[in-house]
Amino acid sequence: MVEIRWHGRGGQGSFTASKLLGALATLYGGKHALAFPSFGPERRGAPVLAFTKIDNKKITDRSEIRKCDFIVILDETLFSENFFDDLKDNGRIIINSATKEVYAKYDSRKITVVDASSIALEVLEKPIANTAMLGALLAVSNIVDLNAVLEGMAGFLKGDLLKKNIEVVQRTFLQCKEVTS
């Protein structure tokens, strides 16, 4: 089972990305998935956790994820060095940051840094980086095929919003593939 924990703030779309990944893995990736949130006070800017579990068989464990294959951080102020302890052996942290050099001291096999907010701002004209971080996750994980995700996004988004989010996913995916190749 692939287990992903998403860290963001209310209004950044971390739960939306978690749900989108789960739905796309199920509908277009031939897998089973669960996606669910965990948050305290529901207000914009408050820390939010979301979880996605993906497997080839039915998932019955609905508990929060402690040991992760991937930790996706939409807001770098939520990053903690303790997150490395929450990774499985081959796990990876994917963090949204414009300052890659801050994370250069960490093992590059355990962390990927991408400026998802800048890509989102440039394409969407809003710094909502959830689909950009989804593209980054796809690039480092191969959980679901990129083309299946892009095709599947049409079931959730329409018109110009769909086109822009496809561009965001593709750009982030390609940027992260270049770094990890």
Rounded Cα–Cα distance for residues 46 and 8 (Å)? 8
Distances (CA, A) of 20 to 15, 27, 56: 8, 10, 18
Contacts of 147 (CB under 8 A, 6+ apart): none
* pLDDT at residue 161 in the model: 94
Cα gap 175→160, rounded to integer Å: 22
- What is the C-alpha separation between 131 and 1, in angstroms, rounded? 22
Report whether pLDDT(181) > 60.
no
Mean pLDDT confidence for 146-154: 89
* Burial group, residue 45, by CB count within 10 angstroms (0-12, 13-18, 19+): exposed
Share of the chain above pLDDT 90, in %: 75
Report the pLDDT value the prediction gives residue 130, as an integer from 0 to 100: 95
Position 46 scores a pLDDT of 80
**Among the four given CATH numbers 3.40.630.30, 3.40.920.10, 3.30.930.10, 3.40.50.720, the one describing domain 2-180:** 3.40.920.10
- Please count the residues of the chain: 181
What average pLDDT does this structure show over 123-129? 93
> What does pLDDT average to over the chain?
92
Q: What does the pLDDT read at residue 74?
A: 97
pLDDT of residue 47: 87
Q: What's this model's pTM, rounded to 2 decimal places?
A: 0.94
Whole-number Å distance between alpha carbons of 35 and 102: 31
Token pair, residue 56, equals: 């080839």
**3-class secondary-structure state, position 76:** helix
pLDDT in tens, 16-60: 999 999 999 999 889 999 999 886 656 677 888 999 999 999 999
SS3 content of the chain, % helix, strand, coil (to 5): 45, 25, 30
